[in-house]
Amino acid sequence: MFSYSNQDLYCEQVALADVAAQAGTPAYVYSSRSILDNYRAYDQAFGELPHQVCYAVKANSSLAVLGLLAKAGAGFDIVSGGELFRVIEAGGDPAKVVFSGVGKTPGEVEYALERGIQSFHCESEAELALIDAKAARRGVKAAFAVRVNPDVDAATHPYISTGLSQHKFGIAIAEAPAVYERAHSFQNLVASGVSCHIGSQILDATPILEAVDKVLALANALRAQGHPIRHLDLGGGLGVAYRPGEKTPGIRSFVETVQGRLREAGLTVLVEPGRSIVGAAGMLLTRVLYRKKNGDREFVIVDAAMNDLIRPSLYRAHHEIIPVRRNSLPPIVADVVGPVCETGDFLARERHMANVMPGDFLAVATAGAYGFVQSSNYNSRPRAPEILVEADRFRVVRQRESYQDLVRGESV
Ligand SMILES: *Cc1c(COP(=O)(O)O)cnc(C)c1O
């Protein structure tokens, strides 16, 4: 949905130079078309197999993005009470919400029960006991799935790999049958599913498929023991291409492979994609402030920084950085850095890039997932606005923060 027409970069039919001029920079821009296409790619590839696509809210929790997906019929995977609040504010259906995460608080469990979510994805026995007690107090039954740790290696960045036994996530798959058995004695819990999620930015689907086989075998064993398992949740994790030509499994072919393995399972299949729905649908617009040379190192200093997009600093992640208007000057090699007072504040290092001048706009690509949501006010920098493009129109769906916003709730 991002492409050049002549020398100008467009999102759908909107010239990004116009967005940058009107909304200022830095600014996040999302293509509604791209988000919906990706969601529908999941939804349609499942075909006749009973399924539910639960968008992982943490990837991009903007109300406008959640609203688009809610309207398209999506369910949601949440990891906090705040995310449930956002889903409801955006018009999402709590009955299609699954709640993941290792550290749900008593208050969050109460809130989720009050709103009637679909299922809790539990990561410890103590959590099951808490949910049972809270459900008993409300006089309701709570559906749960144990998030099992299938002990497979997602082969991704160590910070976002979650499916090995050394990680904090889930319950070891070998111990899961005993946990379901003990949970059986809780009066207010119903074992409705089995879930897993082995990591993020996975570029080879093999480990996910390995996990699918393991959780399917577990679900069958549990059903044979009389547990009313109805759904199998495969988590998210499908990667996106951050570099041109980077190979990814692709949503359609991934789902078709999974669908082939689960056709006979007699279960509703849930997936929790985040990055693969919004990642490529967003860019971060920034303006060149200065250029300078230290020794023989060239720097392009821009008005977006690590507080706006932390992925390069945190994971050494690569994002393409392209000009909003192309010129015909010979390319340069430079570090693209922001104004934050840390050497770790960079968007790219030793990057072959366009020969841009102060005042020019750049677009940091594939920034729709884990971009704005991980932004902060570090260095007392107001957070960037978020802009949604729909065909030939764009609107600010989250305003740029003001200096007043920076001190809200504080006192001297
Ligand atoms: C983060 C997360 C997801 C989404 O992962 P993506 O890589 O963005 O698809 C899904 N499920 C759970 C439990 C998660 O923690």
pLDDT one digit per residue (tens) for the chain, 412 residues = 999 999 999 999 999 999 999 999 999 999 999 999 999 999 999 999 999 999 999 999 999 999 999 999 999 999 999 999 999 999 999 999 999 999 999 999 999 999 999 999 999 999 999 999 999 999 999 999 999 998 888 777 877 777 777 777 889 999 999 999 999 999 999 999 999 999 899 999 898 899 999 999 999 999 999 999 999 999 999 999 999 999 999 999 999 999 988 998 999 999 999 999 999 999 999 999 999 999 999 999 999 999 999 999 999 999 999 999 999 999 999 999 999 998 889 999 999 999 999 999 999 999 999 999 999 999 999 999 999 999 999 999 999 999 999 999 999 9
CA 198 centroid distance within chain: 14
- Answer whether 273's CB lies under 8 Å from 56's CB: yes
SS3 53: strand
pTM above 0.95, yes or no: yes
Measured from the Cα of 100, ligand 1's closest atom is: 13
Closest ligand 1 atom to Cα of 279: 8
d(CA 62, CA 197): 23
Q: Is position 341 annotated as part of the catalytic site?
A: yes
CB neighbour list of residue 266: distance below 8 Å, 6 or more residues apart? none
Q: Which helix (H) or strand (E) holds 207?
A: helix 206-224
* Mutate-to-test residue for ligand 1 from 69, 171, 272, highest number of ligand atoms within 8 A of CB: 272
Give CA 404 to chain center in angstroms. 29
Instruction: Say if residues 129 and 142 touch (Cβ distance below 8 Å).
Output: no
Structural domains of the chain ordered from first start = 2-29+280-403 (2.40.37.10), 101-271 (3.20.20.10)
- Checking DSSP bridges between strand 321-323 and strand 189-195, what pairing results, if any? unpaired
Q: How far is the CA of 199 from the centre of ligand 1 (A)?
A: 7
Residue 336 near residue 207, CB atoms below 8 Å: no
Ligand 1 centroid–CA 401 distance in Å is 28
Show the 3-state SS of 66-103.
HHHHHHCCCEEEECCHHHHHHHHHCCCCHHHEEECCCC
- Ligand 1 site residues, Cβ closer than 6 angstroms: 56, 58-59, 77, 79, 100, 197, 200, 235-238, 272-276, 369
Of the candidates 119, 63, 110, the residue with the CA atom closest to the CA atom of residue 89? 63
CA 310 to centroid of ligand 1, rounded, Å: 18
